Amino acid sequence: MARESIYKKYKPANIPKDVTNTPSFWFIFKDYKMLAKVTETGISIPYGTLEELEITPIRTQYLGTLEGKFCYSAELEPGTESPDEMEFRDLMSIYEVLDEDIFLLAGKALQTVRWDRDHQFCGRCGAETETSTYEMAKICPECGFKSFVRLSPAVITAIIKDGKLLMAKHRYREDMYGLIAGFVEPGETLKEAVERETMEEVGLKVKNIKYFGSQSWPFPHSLMVGFTADYESQEINVDGNEIIEAHWFSPNEILQYPSKISIASDLIEWFIFKFDKQKKLKLNKKRNQRD
Ligand SMILES: [Zn+2]
């Protein structure tokens, strides 16, 4: 993947800071929807003080700075109306039109808001928690139990056999073929997760597993870790549970795939570039037009 590190522009914060009366970027959520400024030229994140924005959140979390400007996540009471010229939008539905750094921060904000909301009380003893003053954590004053923002790593793999890519239809996404993916289980390595998921979902053994890249995926709290692998043995045998169909596709047979911001599309384009020079030319042309 060619994207630059978010840390070139963004400095994270571990220590809570109350500068809410200073103009800041606000990643504000009501349920799972984010408040966005929608204009003819695009979608942007509200910037200003809470007073200027006429917003009264029930909880706020300091996230650090983006290009020197303060950033907050915040949660609104359910039923709150959106201010003028702003709308609540599902993050998944706007990720293609948001600047990539803003999308990544919005994802972090969404996960932080959810974590704060879901850890108001201790999961061990039920006492009300307190926010740590020196790290991003909730601490139980009764039993000392600490909760950090949850992150669930998942693997996604492009499996190749004789110049063809394995693509599968997932039960939750029947309109499109995608790659084999699944959550990492406790106790296993990423490589073992790739082997297990591939065997469980499509009954295949793979070899030459190579790291490709990773991506934050805040739906709801994943870290997607991408791999490439070669087919080793066995016949396709879908589990019928998560996967309902799977086939080998040559580059020319791939007509539709997930949107450009996901690591799945990076993996599929990597495969197309590797095995089909004609399509590579077309993709480059399409990308240039898009840019
Ligand atoms: Zn406790």
112 and 196 in a single domain? The answer is: no
Of 25-39, 231-245, 251-265, the one with minimum mean pLDDT is 251-265
pLDDT value for 40: 81
Contact 125, 145 (CB under 8 A): yes
Mean pLDDT of 12-16: 77
Cα-to-centroid distance, 121 and ligand 1 (Å): 8
Q: Above 60 in pLDDT, residue 154? A: yes
Which residue range is the domain that position 228 belongs to? 152-290
Average pLDDT score, the chain: 89
Cα-to-centroid distance, 59 and ligand 1 (Å): 21
The amino acid present at 252, given as its one-letter code, is N
Contact 250, 180 (CB under 8 A): no
pLDDT value for 2: 54
Considering the entire predicted model, what is its pTM?
Answer: 0.85
User: In this structure, is residue 22 part of a structural domain?
Assistant: yes
Cα-to-centroid distance, 54 and ligand 1 (Å): 36
Please report which confidence band the pLDDT of residue 282 belongs to, taking 50, 70 and 90 as the band edges: low
Quickly count helices (H) and strands (E) in the chain: 6, 18
Cα-to-centroid distance, 253 and ligand 1 (Å): 55
User: In this structure, is residue 142 part of a structural domain?
Assistant: no
User: In this structure, is residue 23 part of a structural domain?
Assistant: yes
34 and 105 in a single domain? The answer is: yes
pLDDT value for 290: 45
Q: Which residues surround ligand 1, an ion (CB under 5 A)?
A: 122, 124-125, 127, 140, 142-143, 145
User: In this structure, is residue 52 part of a structural domain?
Assistant: yes
Cα-to-centroid distance, 156 and ligand 1 (Å): 36
Strand order in the sheet with 138-139: 130-131, 138-139, 146-147
CATH number for the domain that contains residue 102 = 3.90.79.20
User: In this structure, is residue 140 part of a structural domain?
Assistant: no
Cα-to-centroid distance, 150 and ligand 1 (Å): 18
pLDDT value for 175: 82
CATH number for the domain that contains residue 248 = 3.90.79.10
Q: How far apart are CA 130 and CA 95, in angstroms?
A: 33
pLDDT value for 236: 96
Tens digits of residue pLDDT in 20-78: 788 999 999 998 899 999 888 888 999 999 899 888 999 999 999 999 999 999 999 99
Cα-to-centroid distance, 125 and ligand 1 (Å): 4
Cα-to-centroid distance, 142 and ligand 1 (Å): 5
CA angle 211, 215, 216 (to 5 degrees): 145
